[in-house]
Structure formats: structure tokens, C-alpha cells
Amino acid sequence: MRALQQIAFGDPADVVRLVNLPDPAPKPGEIVIRMEAAAVHLADIKRFMGERGFRNMPLPNTPGYEGIGRVVAVGSSVTAFKPGDRVFPWWGASTFAELVCTPAAKVMPAPDGDAVQLSLMLVNGMSAVVLLEDYVSLGAGQWLLQNGANSSCGRYLIVLAREKGVKTCNIVRRPEVAAELKALGADAVVIDHEDPEVLADRVRTATGNADLKLGLDMVAGPATSRIAHCLSNGGLVVNYGYISGKPAEIHFTDLFQKDIKLVGMSTGRGLAKRSMDELRAIYAKLAGLIASGEMRAAIAGTYTLDEYADAFRHALRTGADRDGKIILLPNG
């Protein structure tokens, strides 16, 4: 089989190689999956570049956090799956390969539907669930504020919040994405502004001066401070990314006068607090929403394994230069 391997840290186009490896044979309790699609995440790029916190994997290593494919072989004692079944391998199964061999115990059944869209379900779908459920208990009619609304996670949040009756105020940098977010169910879309007072005024107007207790920040840097300034007294900012490349920051007056708090989100911690039965139920629901088209991520491009260097260069772009997720098609 063909697979991508990371051999060093540095420019993703330089430190990853396309190699030929023996086809895997399943051991007892394992299955082999022929991959249809595998999502490229920012975490993959950070791991390639060896950024802080992303050097904890031995090299050489086949990357890939998630994806979707069909079972082609099962080991002895596997009864839950058979060849031909469509499945999601569990987190970190090294999905940037034509074939993946993985324990069957944590594999999730996958529905029919667009493989490209479904390949994003495991990571971004669960991240959206954790952000919505684990930090502030919001009821119908209450609002949350987010500044990563055009990301796949942000788009999922809009749909999941709408299902709960929670309203979303969505901060974006580009006006042209507003219509797409509205079509997903966004209650308000606000154009970002470098002046925190201007942004806060826009948010107050868009939400009818609502009580805002939860702000979700995937940008970090000054953007964290801006979203914090929009929250009501006692509000909580949950940071889950730093696409600005800068540390999250909040102005002293919002900490001191408004009692704003900042925490970091780890999807891994969200997984750990839920039982496997709970996770299976969550993932079944997410897969159904994606398969039906109710939850959709913006897709910037799809690439074969041969085109990995172009795929990773594309993934490094930001804003309108990328405008969506990058997906690998390991078997073309």
C-alpha cells in the first residue's frame, strides 16, 4: 500500500514522503479499512512543523487523525464488522494511507453520504459538541458568541446550537460568508472590528443587548480580548485555537471590572469524561446530520496522496486564500 510518512520536522512539503509499505494483515480484534477520505487538520500541520506541544510522536510516522472508509478485512473474533461495511476509524489511526489497520472496538459505523463531508465528523464534530455542552449551560433563547464561525467547527456549532434552541452571534472577517452562515441557521452575523468598543456595539445591536455568558474563541491574540469585551459580567471565554499564532489575551479592565474568565478547551478531555456508549450515540447523531446535509463544512480542495505537497501548502493558507478544509483522497 501507499502511505504518507513524516520523517522530520519542518516545512510540511519537505518533511513528508509518499512511501510504499506492506499491506497490513489484521490481528485478532483488528480490522483493515480502505480509506475513502481523510481530513487534514491544523494540528497535522503543526505536528509537521514541530510546533510547541506537537512533538510527542516518534518519527517516522504516518499522520492522519480521522477519515472514513470501507472494511476490507477483519481479524479473528471481530463480529461487529464485515468486509464492505463503511466505518470511521478512531482518533489518530494514521489515516493518510490507502489502508488502515486498527482495533475494531472503537471503530464507528458510518452512513451513506458524501465521504468528503463525513471525513470531518470525528474531530470537528466532537469539538463542537464539547464547546456547546461542557462549559456554560445554555437554554433555549440564550446566546453564545463565536469568532470562528466560518470554520467547520463553527458551522457545526451553528447547527447544533439551533437544535437546542440556543442562538448564535457569529463574528466573521469577510462579509461574503454571512449568507452561508445564515442559511445554516446563524441568528446573527457580525463583521469583526479591531476596536473592541466598536465590535461590542455591533454585537449588542445584533443580539438585542442580550445577556452573553459564553464566548468561543479560535483566533487568540487580540481577538480573545475583543470577544471577552463583548460578554456580560461574569462571562466565560473558551479558547480552542490560535490561528493568529499569538497567545490569548484579555484586557485587565474586563478581568477586573467584569469578572471575565478564560479557559482552554481540549476535545480529548471532553472525550475522556464520556463513556463509549455516550460517544457512540453522539457520533451517530453527528454522522446523520452530516449525511443528510444539515451540517456542512466548507471544502477548499481535495487531493490525492501523490498531491500531498500541494495539499499541505494549501492547508497553510488562511482566510479567503484557503476558505475551507483540505481533504486527502488516499485511494484517488
Q: 115 and 129: one domain?
A: no
Measure Cα distances from 190 to 129, 168, 180, 181, 187 in Å.
Answer: 23, 11, 13, 11, 10
C-alpha cell at 91: 482518533
- The share of the chain scoring above pLDDT 70, in percent, equals 99
Alpha carbon distance 147, 224 (integer Å): 9
Number of domains composing the chain: 2
Q: Are residues 133 and 263 in the same domain?
A: yes
Residue 276 lies in a domain: no
Whether 135 and 254 share a structural domain: yes
Answer yes or no: is pLDDT of 321 > 80: no
Q: At 51, which CATH number?
A: 3.90.180.10
Q: What is the pLDDT of residue 52?
A: 82
Q: Is the pLDDT of residue 42 over 90?
A: no
- Burial of 133 by CB count in 10 Å (0-12 exposed, 13-18 middle, 19+ buried)? middle
Structural domain boundaries, residue 320: 2-120+297-329
Q: Which DSSP string do the residues of 75-113 spell out, in sequence order?
A: -TT--S--TT-EEEPPTT---SBSEEEEEGGG-EE--SS
In a domain, 82, yes or no: yes
Average pLDDT, the chain: 94
Q: Does some domain include residue 274? A: no
Averaged over 216-233, what is the pLDDT? Answer: 96
pLDDT in the model for residue 55 = 83
In a domain, 251, yes or no: yes
For residue 164, how many other CB atoms are within 10 A of its CB? 13
Q: Other C-beta atoms within 10 Å of 198: how many? A: 13
Q: What is the DSSP string of 234-300?
A: T-EEEE---TTSS-----HHHHHHH--EEEE--HHHHHHTS-HHHHHHHHHHHHHHHHTTSS---EE
* Interatomic CA distance for residues 280 and 220, integer angstroms: 31
pTM for the full model? 0.92
In the sheet that holds 143-146, the strands lie side by side as 188-191, 167-172, 143-146, 212-217, 236-239, 261-264
Q: Are 92 and 65 in contact (CB under 8 A)?
A: yes
Q: What is the CATH number of the domain that holds 222?
A: 3.40.50.720
39-67 burial, b if ≥16 CB within 10 A, otherwise e?
Answer: bbbeebbbbbeeeeeeeeeeeeebbbbbb
SS3 316: helix
In whole angstroms, give the CA distance from residue 231 to residue 225. Answer: 10
pLDDT per position as a tens digit, 249-278:
999 999 999 999 999 999 999 999 999 999
> Do 40 and 99 belong to one domain?
yes
Report if residue 220 sits inside a domain: yes
